Amino acid sequence: MSYQALYRQYRPKCFEDVIGQEHIVTTLINQINSEHIGHAYLFTGSRGVGKTTCARIFARAINCLHPVNGSPCGKCEVCKAYDENNMDIIEIDAASNNKVEEVRDIREKVKYPPINGKYKVYIIDEVHMLTDSAFNALLKTLEEPPAHAVFILATTEAHKLPATILSRCMRFDFRLVTTEDIIKLLKKIFDKNKIEYDDKIVQAIATAAEGGVRDALSISDCAISFGKGKIDYDTVVNILGIGDKEQVATLVDNIIKGDLGEVLENINSAYLSGKNFAVFGKELTNYFKNLIVVKTCNNPDAILNQPKEIMDRYKLQADKISVDKLLAFMEKFSNIETDLKYSLSPKTLIELTCLECASFDPSKKF
């Protein structure tokens, strides 16, 4: 049997398994239970946060004969029919089917009633990729849809949709999933698959995913394949191209002290170890942000959720630097993030930025 990627194996089949989107799940379940189903929905949010997953669950649930807590039962005639030959739930990738002809084809076919269930559902992914003429054709259908038709438009860029389309959709904004929720999910999956890991590894993967569950599972897949059932921290660091926390902390120590020579040596060590400088720059931005949290918040431990040794290091560093300096450093590194992605010499850009910070005079601006 062929191997399935983790994000496919563990794609939720019911609303109960969707994490981080309680505000959306609750609303959709209430609509299903009360049978108040709209004709057009807009699911928008970052990649890998559950838009298409929720669209599929919702599409099956509104057709299920006996929904269980708002989710498809998987046992009724309609659910079984959908497992074998699903003709009522049509998924369209607008990135590759974005012309007016494709939307006109939908308009012609949508008039025919569903074969098995109560609704014919069209899930249009990356809907912002449709052409202007395709949007106009879609608008005609959304204005006067058949009673049996439900449209779910999914996009990462809702601002690119015409106002006329937006005004006809019930909008749901999907949030980035918290690092804490991703950590819980990863531990559950690793335990189920008897994969060896420690908290440091899971924290690194969840942080690197930046709120995307699919990204977290893809990173985990790579690490598992490399480690053959065991994940070690060095493997994860190499896969992500991130700097070791100690490496970043030492560099920040020397920036705070103003030791230019040590700063250059730290950066060169990172370079020789093959670190991705675009990611390295983002880590430095986040590090200075964390120091601001430690210096200004009443309960930084609860906000940052880091091991005690890391929090102790943060507190020592925060005592040696002013908030004004930290804000200036965070802004400086934040401003070069885009430049680092496209720079021909990201190492030089990091060196210049770190040296400017190490020799920064708060009475002057960068």
Which residue, chain included where needed, has tokens 């030791």? 259
**Token reading at 125:** 């992914």
The rounded mean pLDDT for the chain is 89
Dist CA 207 CA 304 (whole Å): 11
Domain boundaries, the chain: 6-173, 179-240, 245-358
User: What average pLDDT does this structure show over 151-167?
Assistant: 94
Fold of 6-173: Rossmann fold (3.40.50)
Dist CA 149 CA 146 (whole Å): 5
Instruction: Lowest mean pLDDT of 201-205, 230-234, 249-253, name the range.
Output: 230-234
- How much is the pLDDT for 287? 94
**Token reading at 306:** 């880091």
Give domain 245-358's CATH architecture.
Up-down Bundle (1.20)
Q: Is 173 helix (H, G, I), strand (E, B) or coil?
A: strand
- How much is the pLDDT for 243? 55
pLDDT tier at 54, thresholds 50, 70, 90 = very high
pLDDT tier at 329, thresholds 50, 70, 90 = very high
| 318 vs 307 pLDDT, higher one | 318
Question: How are beta strands 149-155 and 40-44 bridged, if at all?
Answer: parallel
Dist CA 89 CA 80 (whole Å): 14
CB contact at 8 A, 92 and 125: yes
CB contact at 8 A, 169 and 16: no
Fold of 179-240: Helicase, Ruva Protein; domain 3 (1.10.8)
Dist CA 310 CA 316 (whole Å): 10
User: What average pLDDT does this structure show over 268-294?
Assistant: 90
Q: Read off the pTM.
A: 0.75
User: H or E segment at 170?
Assistant: strand 170-173
Instruction: Lowest mean pLDDT of 22-31, 61-70, 224-233, 318-327, name the range.
Output: 224-233
User: What percentage of the chain has pLDDT greater than the value 70?
Assistant: 97
- How much is the pLDDT for 1? 47
CB contact at 8 A, 142 and 106: no
> For the chain, what's the residue count?
366
| 257 vs 235 pLDDT, higher one | 257
For 124-135, how does the pLDDT look when each residue is reduced to its tens digit (9 = 90+)? 999 999 999 999
Which residue, chain included where needed, has tokens 């996009």? 155
- How much is the pLDDT for 3? 62
